[in-house]
């Protein structure tokens, strides 16, 4: 019986394990997860899920693992890989031989330079355990200072307000969501946060974060200081590559894989937040995506390739964020765009299309209440995948159905 | 089937290969018109996070949820893979004299 081992029981690892069975694999599957909880969805941790943090949203019902014959080992780390002898060693010293190995080790929250670690009042948000600790501190009248105006920081600010806590967001760059989000959308999100009472401060340099007994203090280069009950560091994530690095696998902003998710070692694959890969749709440039759908899709793709398929990554990057009743969705990668076009969808909902110099659609970013932009973003994603040079007039005219552009 | 037929809308109120929301008796449904001009009905809310499917995209016999693109076959309600794993309930539909009815 062949034995496939998946290291990392997150969205990607769990999806891969189930996909192996869906595709007919009858051998042994071991899924190893460092966290003591069964695989759960991370996106709710900063959003609605944080309001009811005691219950994570599981990727699959627990009994499904047993039903599918997936040996789920929780609360245990893989500490070493021997790619030559094809053995994975676990924290308890057990050695598992594998025929194929998938690394789905994900990413960790990046800590703030100069701060040794996190404490009672200085926290980060990546796991269910982090969310539980954070939830306990987000009470009416409490004040949370959030370092970083990225998605997690802003979603958390919105959730803090919903729970009656005060929130201050401190961003070093001139505006929030500088990476990957067009200015018009970031501006609308900023305005909304300010209306809701969030104090957003951009262009601020932090010189120190100190933890006291009753509060934590963020000291700014301007000489000002912000005192809060809790400081959350939300400055991005870094790929978990230690295990792969120790085993001598190629690393390049994540575990380096080719278009089929193969690492530099034979029969070892990597997928999800932990890996960087070439994206054919964008000229083969190497990217690492921290997105939920990417983790799912790559888990499924890895499963197919573990079983001998030679499928290449073809998915269009896709991301969403919820703040208050606003939803943002982005398909594609906008950097390198030469032109931007706007399609208004009424009630403050709009989509920005990003085209390259030949007129090819590279990306679409939309924002609106509820699911106002969802359908058009989904269609834009298909237009991007089809490498279409769409008629600019049709893109901007909201009465023209984007679906009709796909037919041509 | 309870056989309690409810009038929904004019048949041409739904575009071909599209979906519409219909609320009745405190419940919400999604009504579909397929590319072949057949009509179908399911529960309105996605089984992943209770988002209304009427904002989603119909392609052939699939409804894609607007929130995270979970997919269902709207003729049978079958969930077509992650992130959705729970099927949608479906309801009988009948079109008479240009009007759509569902049995709830
Ligand atoms: C708060 C938050 C909100 C988010 N919101 C959104 C959103 O709105 N939209 C979106 O698209 N994306 C969002 N994301 C990103 C999305 O959750 C990730 O892209 C996705 O979880 C990646 O899945 P993964 O399986 O690759 O990695 P992870 O989810 O990080 O899972 C990796 C798992 O592997 C384990 N592991 C690591 N090393 C080892 C080892 N050596 N041995 C055993 N186990 C190991 C880790 O403990 C972890 O459990 C959010 C993320 C966070 C943290
Ligand atoms: S709510 Fe429908 S896929 Fe998530």
- Domains in chain B (CATH in brackets) are 5-103 (2.102.10.10)
DSSP track, A207-275? EEEEE-SS-EEEEETTS-EEEESEEEE-S-EEE--HHHHHTT--BSSSEE--TT-B-SSTTEEE-GGGE
> Residue A72's beta-bridge partner residues?
A31
Pairing type for strands B27-33 and B18-24 reads antiparallel
pLDDT digits (tens, 9 = 90+) for B24-51: 999 999 999 999 999 999 999 999 998 9
pLDDT for residue B1 is more than 50:
no
Q: Least CB-CB distance to A296: which of B17, B56, B83?
A: B83
Total Cβ atoms within 10 A of residue A200: 21
> Which residues touch A407 (CB under 8 Å, ≥6 apart)?
none
Decide if A379 touches B, using CB distance below 8 A.
yes
Q: Least CB-CB distance to A60: which of B64, B68, B85?
A: B85
Long-range contacts of A184-189 (CB under 8 A, 24+ apart): A184/A342, A184/A350, A184/A352, A185/A328, A185/A352, A185/A365, A185/A367, A188/A326, A188/A348, A188/A367, A189/A154, A189/A323, A189/A326, A189/A328, A189/A367
Give the nearest ligand 2 atom to B83 CA.
3
For residue B70 and ligand 2, the question of a CB distance below 6 A is answered with: yes
pLDDT value for A112 = 84
Prior bond of B83 cis (ω within 30°): yes
Domains in chain A, CATH or no CATH each: 3-46+56-108+237-306 (3.50.50.60), 122-233 (3.50.50.60), 325-407 (3.30.390.30)
For residue B67 and ligand 2, the question of a CB distance below 6 A is answered with: yes
- Tell me the mean pLDDT in the region B8-17: 93
* Digitized pLDDT (tens) for each residue of chain A, 408 residues in all: 999 999 999 999 999 999 999 999 999 999 999 999 999 999 999 999 999 888 899 999 999 999 999 999 999 999 999 999 999 999 999 999 999 999 999 999 998 887 766 788 999 999 999 999 999 889 999 999 999 999 999 999 999 999 999 999 999 999 999 988 999 999 999 999 999 999 999 999 999 999 988 899 999 999 999 999 999 999 999 999 999 999 999 999 999 999 999 999 999 999 999 999 999 999 999 999 999 999 999 999 999 999 999 999 999 999 999 999 999 999 999 988 999 999 999 888 999 999 999 999 999 999 999 999 999 999 999 999 999 998 999 999 999 989 889 875
CB contact under 8 A, A371 and B51: yes
């Amino acid at each position: 019986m062949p034995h496939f081992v998946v290291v990392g029981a997150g969205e990607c690892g769990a999806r891969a394990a189930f996909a192996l069975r869906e595709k007919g694999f009858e051998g042994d599957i071991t899924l190893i997860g460092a966290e003591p909880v069964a695989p759960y969805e991370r996106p709710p941790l900063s959003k609605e899920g944080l309001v009811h943090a005691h219950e994570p949203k599981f990727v699959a019902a627990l009994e499904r693992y047993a039903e599918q014959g997936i040996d789920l080992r929780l609360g245990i780390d893989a500490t070493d890989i021997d790619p030559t002898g094809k053995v994975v060693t676990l924290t308890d010293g057990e050695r598992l031989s594998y025929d194929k190995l998938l690394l789905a080790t994900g990413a960790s929250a990046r800590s703030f330079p100069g701060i040794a670690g996190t404490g009672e009042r200085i926290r980060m948000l990546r796991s269910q355990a982090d969310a539980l600790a954070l939830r306990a501190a987000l009470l009416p009248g409490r004040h949370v200072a959030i370092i970083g105006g990225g998605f997690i920081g802003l979603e958390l600010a919105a959730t803090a307000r919903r729970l009656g806590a005060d929130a201050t967001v401190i961003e070093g760059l001139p505006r929030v969501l500088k990476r990957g989000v067009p200015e018009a959308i970031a501006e609308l999100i900023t305005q909304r946060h300010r209306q809701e009472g969030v104090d957003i401060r951009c262009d601020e340099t932090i010189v120190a974060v100190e933890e006291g007994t009753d509060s934590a203090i963020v000291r700014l280069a301007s000489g000002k200081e912000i005192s809060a009950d809790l400081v959350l560091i939300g400055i991005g994530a870094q790929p978990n590559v230690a295990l792969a690095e120790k085993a001598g696998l190629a690393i390049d902003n994540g575990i380096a894989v080719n278009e089929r998710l193969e690492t530099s070692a034979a029969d070892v694959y990597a997928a999800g937040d932990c890996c960087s890969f070439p994206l054919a749709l964008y000229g083969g440039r190497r990217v690492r995506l921290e997105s939920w759908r990417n983790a799912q899709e790559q888990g499924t793709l890895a499963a197919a390739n573990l079983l001998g398929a030679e499928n290449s990554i073809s998915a269009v990057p896709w991301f969403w964020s919820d703040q208050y009743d606003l939803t943002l969705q982005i398909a594609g990668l906008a950097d390198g765009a030469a032109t931007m076009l706007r399609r208004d969808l009424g009630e403050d909902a709009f989509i920005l299309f990003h085209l390259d110099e030949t007129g090819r659609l590279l990306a679409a970013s939309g924002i609106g209440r509820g699911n106002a932009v969802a359908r058009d973003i989904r269609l834009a994603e298909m237009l991007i995948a089809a490498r279409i040079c769409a008629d600019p007039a049709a893109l901007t005219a909201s009465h023209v159905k984007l679906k009709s552009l796909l037919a041509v | 089937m309870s056989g309690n037929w409810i009038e929904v809308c004019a048949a041409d109120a739904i575009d071909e290969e599209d979906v519409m929301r219909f609320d009745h008796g405190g419940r919400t449904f999604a009504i579909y018109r397929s590319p072949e001009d057949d009509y179908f009905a399911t529960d309105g809310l996605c089984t992943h996070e209770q988002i209304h499917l009427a904002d989603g995209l119909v392609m052939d016999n699939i409804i894609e949820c607007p929130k995270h693109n979970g997919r269902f076959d709207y003729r049978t309600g079958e969930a077509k893979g992650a992130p959705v794993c729970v099927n949608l309930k479906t309801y009988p539909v009948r079109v008479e004299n240009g009007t759509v009815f569902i049995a709830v």
